[in-house]
Structure 1
C-alpha cells in the first residue's frame, strides 16, 4: 500500500518571551518546529571555539568515552584525528554550561506538556556535539532513519516523551544534506515507532520526508518519537561541514551519569551512533 504524504506546512518561527498558541499547536501536530536565529552567529562561533578546545584536550589525553558514553572518532580534511561526536560537553566548558541555563529552555519544556520535563545536563549523553563532514576518511557523514524510543527499552524503562533540541552552528541548506523528518509520526503506534523502518540501517529517502533550510544560529526541536535521519552532503570537505549541538530535554525519573557509569550495552554491539 502506498503511504500517504502528510499535509505539512513548512514554517519558521521567531523565539519570543513566551511560546504562542500557534507554535504549540504546530508542534503538537507535526512533532517538529524550526526557530530562526535562536543565538547570534557570533555566539555560534564562540561555541565552536569552546568545542575545539575540548576536542584538542581529549585528543591529547587519549579520552575515548565520557561518563560511559563512547566518543566517535574520524579524521579531518588533512587526515588528522578529530572527534565527530562528543557528549557531556557542558561539563567541560563554563560557557556551554551557562548556555544550558538559558531561561528560554524552560519555555521549551512546554512542548512536553502534560509531562514535566527538564534539561538533561547530566543525564542521557548531556550536551552532545555532532560534527558531520563528508570525505573518504570520515566515519560520520550521515545517520539512518531512527526514533529515539528503542534506547528507553534497552535501558529497561517504558517509552517516554523527550525532545531533541538542535542548535545549528553552521549554515545548512537542504541541498547540503542535514536533518530529515517524517512529520506527525510522533503519534504513531508503538509497533510503527519501533519497526516502521529498519532503525539506523535504512538511509533511503522517503516521499513523505521534510528537509530544513537552516542558517547558523537556528534552533530545531523534534519529538524523539518522530522518525528522523541525517542526509549525507553531496559536497566534500569544508563545503560539507555541519556542526550541531543537541540539548536533551527529557521526562521520567532522574538518572544522572558520572565517571563511574557503565557503557550502555547497545553501544557494545553496534557501531551506529545514537543521538
Structure 2
C-alpha cells in the first residue's frame, strides 16, 4: 500500500489535525512520548513484578491467565502480564499523565476513561524470537469480539501502546490496516480469521517505532504483530498497552472469573 504513516507530538490537548488523522485511519503514532530514562524505569518495574510473580507461582491476575515462555537461556519468563499498574506505584502514576487523558476525546462520549482496572488493565507484552519463546508474533485481529463473548454490545474502545524497545519496520512489529475501523460490524469480526491468519496484506502499514513512542489504535481496526526476522536480543520488543473504554464501569479483582474466550484455546489477546 502506498501510504506514508505520519507521526505527531502529543500535548495536553489533541490538535484538529490529530483528531482528523485518527478518525480517517483508526490509528495514530506519537514520537518521543516518554524519555529514555522513563523507558528504562518502566522496564525495570515490569521485570520486578514479573520476578515477584514467578517466585510466587502466580499464573492468573484478576481472572486473566498470564502467558509464559522461556528466555534465550531457557529460564522461565512471563511474556504477557496484566493489571501491571496495580502492582507498581510508578506505573499507576504514569497513567495519570494529563497527556494520556487528552486521548479520551478520540471517542465522542463523555463516559470515556482509562481502564486501569477493567478489561486486562495495563498489559506488558514481551515478544522475543527465540527457540524457547512462545510469544513472537500475533495474527490479524480486532479487539472488539471480546465484548460479544461476554454477552455485551460492542462498544468503542482504544488501545494505547507505550513502546519500550526500538522496532524499525524491518524488525517486524505492529502492522495495521488503515481505515478498517469504519467497516461494517460483520467485517470487523470476520474480515480475516481472528488470530489465526498471519499472512501479510498488500494494504498493511508497518510503523517505525522507537523506545518512548506512543501508539493508539481503534479497537475495531484490524492489526497484527509481525515476527522479527532476527533472533535473540535484536528481536526483543517490550510494549505496555492499556485500554480506553466507555459504558458501564466493570472493574476486575482477585475474585473475577476467567472470561470464556480464554478457555476456547490459547488465543493471544492484547
- TM-score category of the 2 structures, normalised to the smaller one: over 0.9
> Are residues 1:40 and 2:7 paired?
no
Query: Aligned to 2:60, which of 52, 61, 65?
Result: 65
**RMSD (Å) for aligned C-alpha atoms:** 1.0
**Equivalence for 2:267:** 272
**Equivalence for 1:139:** 134
**Equivalence for 1:262:** 257
Residue 259 of structure 1 aligns to a residue whose secondary structure is: coil
Question: Are the structure 2 counterparts of residues 251 and 107 from structure 1 closer, same or farther at C-alpha, using a change threshold of 3 Å?
Answer: same
Distance in 2 (alpha carbons) for counterparts of 1:114 and 1:120: 15
User: 8 Å contact 2:109–2:246 — kept in the other structure?
Assistant: no
**Equivalence for 1:170:** 165
TM-score (norm 1): 0.96
Query: Aligned to 1:21, which of 3, 16, 19?
Result: 16
User: 8 Å contact 1:109–1:116 — kept in the other structure?
Assistant: no
**Structure 2 residue ranges without an equivalent (≥5):** none
Residue 52 of structure 2 aligns to a residue whose secondary structure is: helix
Q: What CA deviation, in whole Å up to 9, does each residue of 1:80-111 have, x standing for no partner?
A: 00000000000101001111111112101011
TM-score (norm 2): 0.98
Distance in 2 (alpha carbons) for counterparts of 1:217 and 1:32: 17
Distance in 2 (alpha carbons) for counterparts of 1:114 and 1:258: 26
**Equivalence for 2:6:** 11
Distance in 2 (alpha carbons) for counterparts of 1:166 and 1:21: 21
**Structure 1 residue ranges without an equivalent (≥5):** none
Residue 239 of structure 2 aligns to a residue whose secondary structure is: strand
> Are residues 1:127 and 2:127 paired?
no
